[in-house]
A = this chain, B = another copy of it.
Amino acid sequence: MATLTPSTRPDGLESELRKSLGEGSVIDDPEVLAARADDWSGWPSGTPRLLVTPSDTGGVARCLSICNAHRVAVVVQGGRTGLAGGAAARTGEVMLALDKLAGVEDIDTIGGTMTVRAGTTLEAAQAAARGRGMELEIDLGARGSCQIGGVIATNAGGIRVIGTGMTRAHVLGLEVVLADGTVLDDMNTMIKNNSGFDLKQLFIGSEGTLGVVTRAVLRLSPERPGVVTALAALATTGDATTALATARSALGSSLSAFEAMWSDYVTFMSERGGYSRPFDAVPPLSVIIEARGRDESVERSKLEALLADGLEAGWLTDATIAASTDQARRIWAMRDEGPAEYGRLFQAIVPFDVSIPIRSMIGTADRIVGDIRAGWPEAVPLTYGHIGDANLHLVVGFTAPIPDDAKLAISTLVYEAVGAVGGAVSAEHGIGQLKKPWLPLSRTPAAIELMRCMKSTFDPANILNPGRVI
């Protein structure tokens, strides 16, 4: 056992946890704690007190009940792939990890449901569904590491939202442990159930501040193996809205991705990331359009008709449809590998995940980027996003370190511009610790007051993920 430091000294809390959960589920090794204290956001973590790894719902309940009695803060950790610092531990917190509470319990191909434990990775859940000819229509880049509990707690988005909605749309039932250890069984399996308040909605997207998700019932759909991917060059950025409306109308519910990349992004990826430039000249806006359905040939012909329409109407200047899975992968690589490339090449980045009403998006994005270029001529803005979902990702990169006040000034510029057009400071990554100061730009004082009221009702001792969201 590691040397005891003040923050991990066995006290009443630790001995109660060990007695209740077993020695193997309560870890105080400082190296283990330090290695697990952060998340993908890079938000600075503190020195946590303990790591607790229950293997069932009862263990989670006992852990919370003991921590609540001791008034000790708990940070809930899934795969720690969040980008808002929600899972980054603060000094003195107990880290509650769901890793051992993993596995798919049931797949009902008739009802189209999966019953799954919170610590299951998204990828494992997807694979279990496919093994039964079904599809779990939630997909994120972090699929191999992120856990179902965290996906639900953060109402994660991802690349299929335009077709199948945010995580919330896929959750039928939840089991949640409240701050005092009460287990709330709301494991509904049915699409229609208007029997009293739909309590599970409270825990979806509240980032673990109101309760800890331990099990879930998720919706499954029949597999849609027919996927066709196109890359389209738009005549102007302003044509994005026409392109989107036409794609929605032509592809209907087959439209499974509409991902825009501004010329700054494509130029960066072509020149510095080494990705082959898809068109002779970099267009003002490149859009990945994906159609997904049962039958690939049906989807292909719909997509071909859409692109022919666009070329004739003039909002498209060029387009290519992937002829193979490998070509499709190359199209997606330009979009997916952005974070890896700019992580490698920049010394400092200021990243954004915001929503902007679609009709204001292009103008707002162009204006923000213009202001950043004017204020910080050395900045490299990279603009891209799920514009069909009103979700813009903007990364402002620097090849040399920049001071914190420059980061703050850029953030202020972006978030105020977003707030001014009725946008939201977080589209899909959540608030966590990172965006807490900016929340009032997206929500009214009455709404924030109501959130506080709910928080103090559900967690009067403020032990669950304190300092996150509100």
Report the bound CA distance from A201 to B171 in whole Å: 13
B248 touches A359 (CB 8 A): no
A154 within 8 A of B: yes
User: Are the C-beta atoms of B390 and A429 separated by less than 8 Å?
Assistant: no
A325 interface residue per 8 A CB criterion: no
User: Which B residues are CB-close (under 8 A) to A110?
Assistant: 241, 244-245, 358-359
Roughly how many angstroms separate A196 CA and B358 CA in the complex, as a whole number? Answer: 21
Tell me the bound Cα distance from A451 to B111 in angstroms.
Answer: 27
Q: Which A388-445 residues have C-beta < 8 A from chain B?
A: 389-391, 422-431, 435, 439, 442-444
Q: Which of A3-11, A184-192, A326-334, A342-350 contacts B (4 or more CB under 8 A)?
A: A184-192
A333 vs B112: C-alpha distance when bound (angstroms) = 29
Q: Are A190 and B386 closer than 8 Å at their CB atoms?
A: no
Nearest Cβ on chain B to A381's Cβ, whole angstroms? 21
With A191-B389, A196-B439, A253-B253 known as contacts, the answer to whether A447 contacts B201 (CB < 8 A) is no
Q: Is the CB of A198 within 8 A of B188?
A: no
Question: How many residues from A make CB contacts under 8 Å with B?
Answer: 86
A308 at the interface (CB under 8 A from B): no
Whether B422 lies near A189 (C-beta < 8 A) is yes
Choose among B190, B191, B447 the residue that contacts A196 (Cβ–Cβ < 8 A).
B447
- Confirm or deny: A465 has a beta carbon within 8 angstroms of a beta carbon on chain B: no
Q: Knowing A195-B439, A202-B201, A442-B196 touch, does A111 contact B222 (C-beta < 8 A)?
A: no
Partner of A195, one of B157, B168, B253, B442: B442
Taking the nearest CB of chain B, how far is it from the CB of A256, in angstroms? 11
Q: Mask for A346-375, Cβ within 8 A of B = 1, else 0?
A: 000000000111110000000000000000
Contact with B along A193-227 (1 / 0, CB 8 A): 11111110110111000100000000001101000
The interface residues of chain B lying within 8 Å CB-to-CB of A390 are 111, 189-192
A109 to chain B: which residues have CB within 8 Å? 245
Q: Is A448 an interface residue (CB 8 A)?
A: yes
A245-270 with Cβ < 8 A to chain B? 245, 248-250, 252-254
Taken together, the copies of this chain in the complex come to 2
**Would you call A32 an interface residue if the criterion is a C-beta within 8 Å of the partner chain's C-beta atoms?**
no
Given contacts A357-B111, A447-B199, contact A426 B252 (CB under 8 A): no
Contact with A165, one of B191, B221, B444 (Cβ below 8 angstroms):
B191
A289 at the interface (CB under 8 A from B): no
Chain B residues with CB under 8 Å of A23's CB are: none
Question: Do B248 and A222 touch across chains, with their CB atoms under 8 A apart?
Answer: yes
Q: How far is the CA of A206 from the CA of B194 in the complex (A)?
A: 9
A166 in the interface, Cβ–Cβ < 8 Å? yes
CB of A69 closer than 8 Å to a CB of B: no
**Complex contact B469–A197 (CB within 8 A):** yes
Residues of B within 8 A of A424 (CB): 188, 190, 192-195
The answer to whether B446 touches A185 (Cβ under 8 A) is yes
- A392 to B70 alpha-carbon distance, docked (Å): 48
Q: Check if B426 sits within 8 Å of A194, measured CB to CB.
A: yes
A252-B222, A431-B195 given; A202·B202 CB < 8 A: yes
Docked-complex contact A443 and B195, CB < 8 angstroms? yes
A198, A293, A425, A450, most chain B CB atoms within 10 A:
A450
Contacts of A446 in B (CB 8 A): 182-185
**Contact in complex: A155, B185 (CB < 8 Å):** no
Can you list 20 A-B pairs, Cβ within 8 angstroms, ordered by A?
A108-B358, A111-B358, A111-B359, A166-B192, A190-B390, A190-B423, A190-B427, A192-B424, A193-B427, A194-B428, A196-B470, A197-B454, A198-B201, A198-B205, A199-B451, A201-B202, A222-B252, A249-B294, A253-B254, A454-B457
Additional pairs, 7, CB under 8 Å, beyond known A190-B389, A198-B201: A157-B194, A166-B192, A185-B447, A190-B424, A192-B355, A195-B443, A222-B248
